[in-house]
Each structure stands twice: as C-alpha cells, then as structure tokens.
Amino acid sequence: MVLYDYSKEIRKAVRAYWRSKEQALLRNQSGARVDQGKRGGATAGKNFDGFCKLFAQLGKKHGGAALDIHANKTHVVLPGHFRPSKQWDLVLIQGGRLIAALEFKALGGPSFGNNANNRCEEALGSGIDLSVAQREGLFGAGANPFIGYVILVEDDERSRAVPLRGNPSVHFASDPAFKTASYQERMRILCERMVQERIYSAAAVIRSPPTAASTGEFGELSVNTSLNRLIARCLAHVGVETG
C-alpha cells in the first residue's frame, strides 16, 4: 500500500525532463554540430536532473544527515563484476555501504524498435553486473542496496501501436506475451520481469508526451511498474538501512 502520492513531485520532474530536451535541441541546432533528428535532445546528458533531484531530496529527508547522496558523474561510478565499473545516475551511501543506486532512461522516437532493444540490453547488463558485484561483497560489509530502474517512454502513436514488423525468431516460437505488445507494453514487461528475477529491487515505466514540458503530464502502465510505488519502496529501504 502506498501511503503517499508523489504525483506532484513526478510531474515536476517530467516537466524538467522535456524542457531540458527542448533546450538541448535548440542549442544543438544553433551550434556547429547538428545531430540527426531528435538526437540532439537525447544526447544532452542532463535530461534526468529533475528525477535525480526528486530522489535526492526525498532520500535526504528519510535517510538523515549521515546519508551521502551523489549525482555528480565522477561520484556515481560503481564497481562491476563483468566490467571494471559502471556510471549510475544516483548513488546513496552511508558508513561505507551502498544504500541505493538508481538508473534513469528514456525511450523515444523515431526508431522505437532499435531504441527498445538497446534499453533492454543496457538494463539487463547493468542490473546483472551490479547484483553479482554485490554478491562478491564490493559494496561494503553487509550491504543490501536498493537497485532501481526508471524508464520514461515518449507517449506517441508509434510507441502505443503494436509493431508491424520486427526481427522474428525463425527457429523457435517467441514468448506470446510480446505478440500483441506495443513498445510501451514491452517496457512494462521488461520492468516486471527484471524485478521478478531479482535483477532490480524495483523498476518503473511511465509514458509522457513532449507537450508535458508545460503540463508535466505522465501515465503509468501497471501497478507493479508504478513510479509512485518505486519511490515508496526506495524510501522505505533507505529508512530501514539508515535508521
């Protein structure tokens, strides 16, 4: 049961995300180097600052002054098991133990198919790498970190539609859950199954249109992949681990 509705805070972060993309695209178009299509906004690097700020503020409130919260790219690098290290988006540490690590990603057009495949590979690779590194004791004695994954999908008719073409398996039947799943639904399935397999502590997907730069509009695809629930679970974990 979620005891608090964080929708107001999420809308603020969503507005900041789309505004950051707009500003980055304008700067890119006025500069010497112009990325193809909307890529100029996607490669800005700071689009999720609003989400980092949201979790940082709430984390400090629930974790207290002793909790160190890092969002600077030089302080969010964590060791891996299959690779030397990985840069996360937000890292919470206390007393030499990793308390939480969060990853924020986006899925947008025009190539939803290629981008969706990339997001799946990234999410699985990062989550599995960190979970094994935790098992090997790389995050402090007794560390049991909350690992969170959040993906914002551009709400577009292409992301809502069932793909007409794909890359079908010719030797074996694919999982029927994907047969009629849109790209938005595929991200929901990804998030649900990553938590089911204990790759992440919680994973959330929200959908939002570019017009949300002024409204902060967003929607959720299921209770299990609710961002509101992920926030509540993360803060509960922080409270227990730092109490």
SS3 53: helix
Per-residue pLDDT of 195-210, as tens digits, reads 999 999 999 999 999 9
**Strand, helix or coil for residue 94:** strand
Residues forming a β-bridge with 154: 208
Please report, as a single letter, which amino acid is at residue 27.
R
Q: How many residues does the chain have?
A: 243
Is 40 within the bounds of a domain? Answer: yes
How far is it, in rounded angstroms, from Cα 197 to Cα 174? Answer: 19
What pLDDT score does 167 carry?
Answer: 66
Residue 4: which pLDDT band, with cuts at 50, 70 and 90?
A: confident
**Residue 126 within a domain:** yes
Asked whether residue 169 is assigned to any structural domain, the reply reads no
In a domain, 42, yes or no: yes
Residue 224 lies in a domain: yes
- What is the rounded average pLDDT for all residues in the chain? 89
**Nearest to 6, CA basis, from 243, 238, 206:** 206
Residue 230 lies in a domain: yes
220/50 Cα distance (integer angstroms): 18
Residue 123 near residue 193, CB atoms below 8 Å:
no
C-beta neighbour count of 65 within 10 angstroms: 7
Does residue 167 lie within any of the structural domains?
A: no
d(CA 110, CA 240): 42
**27 vs 138, which has greater pLDDT?**
138
Q: pLDDT band at residue 111, thresholds of 50, 70 and 90? A: confident
Q: pLDDT tens digits, residue range 36-60? A: 445 444 444 589 999 999 999 999 9
- Say yes or no to pLDDT of 165 above 90: no
Average pLDDT over residues 75-80: 96
Question: How many structural domains is the chain composed of?
Answer: 1
The span from the first CA to the last CA of the chain, in angstroms, equals 21
Residue 99 lies in a domain: yes
The domain containing residue 75 runs over which residues? 7-162+174-242
Angle between helices 227-242 and 7-30 (to 10 degrees): 110
